[in-house]
Copies of this chain bind each other. A is one copy, B any other.
């Protein structure tokens, strides 16, 4: 294992969408008393790790994301750095850090990343550690200050999704308009009128209709679309608001 920097880490809030719910990827954190097998810790955390010497922090996040999901080149963006002096001070976290004994400091600043992945393209079965998708509304107990980090990541996702077409990162390459609508409704916690939503999406020149339909559904198959970042970058315009 290459040497790490003891007081700087990276944590990733990785979102996925299964066409029903918005989910976040968590890793189980479990610690047993060696002899008695008494469970000392059994909760969940975001995926994260310390950065390596001579490693850029963006690269550290990409490395960690890849190690968990197998994915490369997906949406990954820093959103906040958490550095309160006492953020790892609760007993469970101190116990965990002591047992890890990998030379981590007890004053760790962590840089948090938002990641959006097409969870249909990922299978988690291979992992040694227990890794699981949890619906964002039904999270288990989280270790460290990861509840707070998660909340801020979700806030950031909600903000960004409102002003930039990043929702597509959570869908497969080809998607239907109502999948897109359900995604936005899940993220924002609202409902949209189907006709108006469709009208709005069809105006977006970067959402491109295919000559192709859904298959194997037991209702009228929907048309498939792809998102073109290229068209988006070419046609985007600035917008002035600071709402009334």
Residues of chain A touching chain B, judged by Cβ–Cβ distance below 8 Å, are 5, 7-8, 51, 53-57, 78, 80-81, 83-85, 107, 109, 111, 161-165, 167, 184, 188, 190, 192, 200, 203-205, 236-244
Copies in the complex: 2
- Does A164 lie within 8 Å of B242, measured CB to CB? yes
Q: How far is the CA of A81 from the CA of B113 in the complex (A)?
A: 11
Q: Using Cβ atoms and an 8 Å threshold, which residues of chain B touch A238?
A: 162, 188, 190
- Does B78 lie within 8 Å of A56, measured CB to CB? no
Having A56-B83, A83-B111, A203-B244, one finds 9 other A-B pairs with CB under 8 Å, namely A53-B85, A56-B84, A57-B83, A78-B80, A78-B81, A162-B238, A162-B241, A204-B244, A205-B244
The 8 Å CB contact of A163, one of B163, B204, B236, B244, is B163
Min CB distance A172 to B, Å, is 19
A206 and chain B: residue at smallest CB distance: B244
- Does A162 lie within 8 Å of B239, measured CB to CB? yes
A82 and chain B: residue at smallest CB distance: B57
- Does B83 lie within 8 Å of A242, measured CB to CB? no
The 6 closest A-B pairs by CB, nearest first: A57-B83, A81-B81, A54-B85, A56-B84, A203-B244, A81-B111
Q: Using Cβ atoms and an 8 Å threshold, which residues of chain B touch A51?
A: 83
- Does B107 lie within 8 Å of A53, measured CB to CB? yes
